[in-house]
Amino acid sequence: MFQRSLLRAITPSAKLPDGVEIVTRSGVRVEIAVRVSDRAKRLLLKFNPIEDRFELVVPRGVRFSDVTRFAEAQQGWVAARLGSAPPRILFQPGETIPILDVPHRIEHVAGSGVPVRLEPGLLIVTGKPEHISRRIRDFLRARARAELGDAARHYAAEIGKPVKGISLNDPKSRWGSCSSRGTLCFSWRLIFAPPKVLRYVAAHEVAHLVEMNHGPKFWAEVARLVGPHQAERAWLTRNATRLQRLG
């Protein structure tokens, strides 16, 4: 028997509600945020795997009945996104996370001492339980900065260009960037990736110090620095969501 999805408005306003809620055929309730955009040309449903959050971008002037009808029609897509998302792994004792692609189980030791240390297969955290997640994140960011900084400076020396600065952030859609001033920015989540993948991203951004585009000369420069890199690029594409759901 066919079962229709149910919808209801959340926080209604004079124009459009802030969101709608659908109930999929399997009975899962999913809230979809609604955002009106002057730039949007059509209704567009997005899924943020980092936050398990759905957002429906709506052109200005669209009627609420059209919004609900569109959301209802996408219930299969919503269910598929939820079903295909890798499991979220939190930074807490008993969980296992990759560090440079090597699995490490998180273990908490009461008392003081070095906040976080690595042992074969273990990531050991001291201090109060409520500080575990923050301490692990701080440790991983510091390790990522060191690894990426060393790789970037190495490749920059090869092309004879200075790196003016290195920063880390947590972008949703890209692993690095290079400013016109020579500052490189990387995702700290690259610390989860294999070393060859991390070094490829470092070389990619360093190559922008020579070519601020993605033309043939740019890719030739990347290949000169790290050799064939198709496998590393493919690894990032396959594992992007998994890395975003760590922590």
Q: pTM for this structure? A: 0.79
pLDDT in tens, the chain (247 residues): 333 445 554 544 447 888 988 888 888 899 999 999 999 999 999 998 778 899 999 998 888 888 999 999 998 999 998 888 899 999 999 999 999 999 999 999 988 789 999 999 999 999 999 999 999 999 999 999 999 999 999 999 999 999 999 999 998 889 999 999 999 999 999 999 999 999 999 999 999 999 999 999 999 999 999 999 999 999 999 999 899 999 9
3-class DSSP assignment, residue 8: strand
CA angle 165, 151, 137 (to 5 degrees): 75
Task: Sketch the domain layout of the chain as residue ranges.
Answer: 6-84, 96-244
Q: What is the CATH number that goes with domain 96-244?
A: 3.30.2010.10
According to the model, what pLDDT value does residue 247 have?
Answer: 92
Which pLDDT tens digit goes with each residue over 85-141? 899 999 999 999 999 999 999 999 988 789 999 999 999 999 999 999 999 999 999
* Contact yes or no for 47/53 (Cβ under 8 A): yes
Cα-based distances in Å from 52 to 37, 72, 76, 172, 176: 21, 18, 16, 13, 23
Cα–Cα distance measured from residue 164 to residue 182, given in angstroms and rounded to the nearest whole number: 5
Residue 145: the pLDDT is: 98
Provide φ and ψ at 11, rounded to 5°.
50, 65
Question: Do residues 25 and 7 make contact, with C-beta atoms less than 8 angstroms apart?
Answer: no
How many Å apart are CA 166 and CA 152, to the nearest integer?
A: 9
CA distance 98 to 196: 14
Query: What pLDDT shows up at residue 5?
Result: 43
